[in-house]
Amino acid sequence: SDGIVPALIDSLLLYILRAWLETQPSADAKGWAAALADAAVAPALAAIHGDPAAPWSVESLAARAGLSRAAFARRFTTLVGEPPMAYLTRWRMTAAARLLRESDAPLSAVAGRAGYGSEFAFAKAFKREYGLAPGSYRRQARAA
């Protein structure tokens, strides 16, 4: 349940935001509001948020959106503000940081839940994003 509850909360937030956006005038929608209201980008965001550890690719996300890879990547980048794979990496690192702060899960489990096959690859990506190794991040977060 420790791994499922955060994903369910993320999904619930996404559905609440989508329901709220449906009541808003779409002509004024910009940024995240536009991305969550967009018929092609919203399903891709829901997929990423629902299962960040899945082996997502621009191609698989574009298939969910019903667009070509190039058209999907352009649309996603325009609405979200960053390319799909950059967003996926940032979302995975955000979820991993939360796990490091809030659980005692071993690094291998955190890496797996973040979609990384090895602790080394995960640690390298995490350090690139946060400037600290995962273990150091966990110690600092708990000391604060």
Tokens 């791994």 correspond to 3
Amino acid at 71: A
Does residue 28 have a pLDDT over 60? no
User: What DSSP state is assigned to residue 117?
Assistant: S
Average pLDDT score, the chain: 88
Please tell me the CATH superfamily of domain 89-143, with its number: Homeodomain-like (1.10.10.60)
**Cα separation values, 112 from 9, 20, 49, 82, 92, Å:** 19, 33, 15, 24, 10
pLDDT tens digits, 110-130: 999 999 999 999 999 999 999
Mean per-residue pLDDT for 2-26? 74
Domain locations in the chain as residue ranges = 4-81, 89-143
Q: Are the C-beta atoms of 65 and 43 separated by less than 8 Å?
A: yes
Q: Are the C-beta atoms of 72 and 38 separated by less than 8 Å?
A: no
Amino acid at 22: E
pLDDT tens digits, 57-98: 999 999 999 999 999 999 999 999 999 999 999 999 999 999
User: What is d(CA 105, CA 99) in angstroms, rounded to the nearest whole number?
Assistant: 7
What pTM did the predictor assign?
Answer: 0.77
